[in-house]
Amino acid sequence: MKVEGISPQQMGKQLTQNIEKERQVIPDFGKMLTDSLERVNEIQQKADKVGQDFILGKTDSVHKVTIALEEAQLAYDLTLSIRDRILEGYRELMRMQF
């Protein structure tokens, strides 16, 4: 039984294909962060609109206003928590000595 070797070109091609597969599976962190911040912004704008509509008398549902404001507050708090964790991780990396 004869075993054939793998050429460097074949190895390089296989490695390139594996990297491309991983890129397709793993979302881009920057895009994910941008999308999340845009979603938080949309939630904040929705809460502002619902609050303004309530003040102007366009709606009388205190329940909807309360839910929208709480949702906006939770999204904001979560965003701040994520920011704090990212900064904490960055500071920890900066303290490390290589």
**Mind listing the pLDDT tens digit for each residue in 40-66?**
999 999 999 999 999 999 988 899 999
Residue 8 resides in a domain: no
Number of domains in the chain: 1
pTM: 0.67
**Gyration radius of the chain over CA positions:** 25
Residue 54 resides in a domain: yes
Residue 59 resides in a domain: yes
* pLDDT over 70 at 1, yes or no: no
What are φ and ψ of residue 39, in 5° steps? Answer: -65, -40
Per-residue DSSP letter, 12:
H
Domain that holds residue 72: 28-95
Which pLDDT tens digit goes with each residue over 7-40? 777 767 777 777 777 666 667 778 888 999 999 9
Residue 20 resides in a domain: no
The pLDDT of residue 12 is 72
Element (H, E) at 11: helix 8-25
